[in-house]
Each structure stands twice: as C-alpha cells, then as structure tokens.
Copies of this chain bind each other. A is one copy, B any other.
Amino acid sequence: MTDVKFKKLALIGIGLIGSSIARSVKAHGLADEIVCAARTADTRRIALELGIVDAAYENPVDAVKGADLVILCTPIGTYGPLAATIGPALEAGTILTDVGSVKEAVVKAVTPHLPDYVDFIPGHPVAGTEKSGPAAGFAELFIGRWFILTPTPKSSHEGLEKLTAFWTAMGSKVETMDPAHHDLVLAITSHIPHLIAYNIVGTADDLEDVTQSEVIKYSAGGFRDFTRIAASDPTMWRDVFLHNKDAVLEMLGRFSEDLTALQRAIRREDGDTLFEIFSRTRAIRRQIIDAGQETAEPDFGRIHSPDDE
C-alpha cells in the first residue's frame, strides 16, 4: 500500500463533509497537521472547540500555505472563485481535490485558475446525511461507501495513487470515472431522488383540503422518509441542480414519462401493469442490501419500542 501520510491537510469549508474528513484523518493519523478555512467565526470556533483542526482561518489563502493536500468542502458554486483565490498560493506538487456532488462543472470552473504545477484531482464521496455544519460530522461517515475519482487529463499518476490510498484508509471503496458519466450516474442515484423528495414535501405543504397537521400526524405511512432527504441543505442542493442541469433534466424527463405510464395504468384500472411494475423493483432493494450499501433491517432499523413515543 502507498504510504499515505500528508504533512498538512487544508480543508476549505468545515461542514458535514469537511468535519467528517477531519475526524477520520485524525483517527487514522493521515496528516501531521489539519487546518481549515471557514467563512463565519462561529464555524471556526466550533471546529476548534471540537478539537478536529489545529487551526482555523477566515482567509483560505492562509489555510493552504504549506499544505500538500487541499480539499474543497464548500458548496459547488463557490469552487470557481475559491480556486481563483487560492490558486496562486498553492505550492508545487500540492494535491488539490474536492468533494463536490457534481464533477464536470467543477472541472470547468476550477481548472482555469490553477498553476500548472498543482495536481488537481476531482473527487466525490458518495456518503452523507441530511445534517449540516461541523458538529454534524463523524469519523465513520465514509466507511463502506464509495469515493469516485474523476481525474482530469493532467492529474498525475502518483497523485491518483496517493488520493486512492487516502480515501481507502478512511474506509471508502474507490472507483475512477469520467466526470460526465459521474454526473449522469449521480443524477439518477442522488439528484433526482432529492428533487422529487423536495417536490412532494412542497406539494404536501401547499394543499388546501389536507391540513399541514394531518400531513405531519400521518407521515408514518411513507411520507416521512421523503422529508429526511428534503431536509438537506438548500444551498448545497441549489448548487447541485444549477451545475448538473443537463443530466438532471434528462433523467427527469424519463422519470416523468414513466410516471405518466403509471398514471394511465391507475386511470384505466390496469391492475396487471401495476403489479408487474411493483414486483420488478423489489429485486433492486435486495441487491443494494447484498452490496453492503444498506441495512437489511425493516424500516431502516428505526427503533420501535415503548420509549419510541
């Protein structure tokens, strides 16, 4: 295994993802020094109080000084301006990577601002929760989850190996993919699910004939699962949809076509078609559980007990 110890890790942004990286890097001894940059004083204070970084700066230029690994952990829309700011301050051979949920737009936004001697290797951990901020992170977030590397033609072979070893050490399984293909895969496995979750929760919020308190009371019938996803950070998700527009619109078109077919089957009372569609989808759940991407416990293993009330 490649030796995977960095001198100085600079995290730009220290929310759910950044702070989980900090915790995991600390737990596994993957860097001698961990620093972060964050916009607001409160975030910097909390990160320091949690003891997950050695220093916290307001200016990202201060954070990246002398760093051999820099990870962008802010919303995607900030990556271009951030790259312009820190680009000149990065040292030769420094690996610059990110955790953005969209990749093609990130490559386009970041690359032009970087000196040639910076080793830019975009990436995306397919792991997360609906919570935000430095206190929401935890060291185990990446265990058993995929990390997708989407190298550019200029990413170095050694950098790729080192970054692979880094994420592997944090418990991830690492895969390499073309940025455009990444965006298509994530459009269906993540972006569309978030969009329709936001949408149904919005629809339910707007009804006149069903009150909001009824929606809340009877949410255990299925709705509450969607509210978890729809509680995700609005800034992050706005940026995802703005930056993965084409793939999202493409997948959304297919989703809507299929929904129209289901609607027609209900209108025509075509029970056989409904049964056939509802039967097919069970197999996928089984495969996700078998692939270790999900718990087999019913109801996600939510606790059902007298104390549950």
CA distance A232 to B186 in the complex (A): 24
In the complex this chain forms, how many copies of it are found? Answer: 2
Kindly state the separation between the CA atoms of A294 and B280 in the bound complex, as whole angstroms.
Answer: 29
Q: Is the interface of A mostly helix, strand, loop or mixed?
A: helix
Map CB proximity to B onto A203-237 as digits: 1 under 8 Å, 0 otherwise: 11111011010111111111111111111101101
Question: Chain B nearest CB: distance from A182 CB in Å?
Answer: 9
**A288 contacts partner chain B, Cβ-Cβ < 8 Å:** yes
Q: Which residue of B lies closest to A270 (CB)?
A: B242
Question: How many residues of chain A get a CB closer than 8 Å to chain B's CBs?
Answer: 115
Query: 1/0 per residue A277-300: CB within 8 Å of B?
Result: 111111011111001111100111
Interface residue from B207, B267, B300 paired with A302 (Cβ < 8 Å): B300
Taking the nearest CB of chain B, how far is it from the CB of A162, in angstroms? 23
Question: CB distance B306 to A143 under 8 Å?
Answer: yes
Extra contacts besides A227-B285, A249-B266 (9): CB < 8 Å: A141-B304, A144-B308, A146-B218, A185-B215, A193-B223, A227-B294, A234-B274, A249-B267, A252-B266
In the bound complex, residues from chain B placing their C-beta under 8 Å from that of A7 are: none
Interface string of A237-267 (1 = CB under 8 A from B): 1110110010011011011101100110011
| Alpha-carbon distance A277/B235, docked complex (angstroms) | 11
Given A288-B224, A301-B300: A237 touches B281 (CB 8 Å cut-off): no
Which residues does chain B contribute within 8 Å of A130, judged by CB atoms?
A: 285, 298-299
Q: Which A residues lie at the B interface, using CB under 8 A?
A: 101, 126-131, 136, 138, 140-141, 143-146, 148, 171, 175, 184-186, 188-207, 209-210, 212, 214-232, 234-235, 237-239, 241-242, 245, 248-249, 251-252, 254-256, 258-259, 262-263, 266-267, 269, 271, 274-275, 277-282, 284-288, 291-295, 298-306, 308-309
Instruction: Given A216-B287, A222-B190, A259-B196, answer yes or no on A304-B230 (Cβ-Cβ < 8 Å).
Output: no
- Once bound together, how far apart are the Cα atoms of A128 and B222, in whole Å? 9
CB-defined A-B contacts under 8 Å, sample of 19: A171-B306, A184-B209, A184-B210, A185-B210, A185-B218, A189-B222, A192-B203, A193-B223, A197-B222, A215-B284, A230-B285, A234-B275, A235-B275, A238-B271, A238-B278, A241-B266, A292-B308, A300-B300, A300-B301
Inside 8 A of A212's CB, which chain B residues have their CB? 284, 287
Contact between chains at B221 and A193 (CB < 8 Å): yes
Query: By the criterion CB–CB under 8 Å, are A281 and B198 in contact?
Result: yes
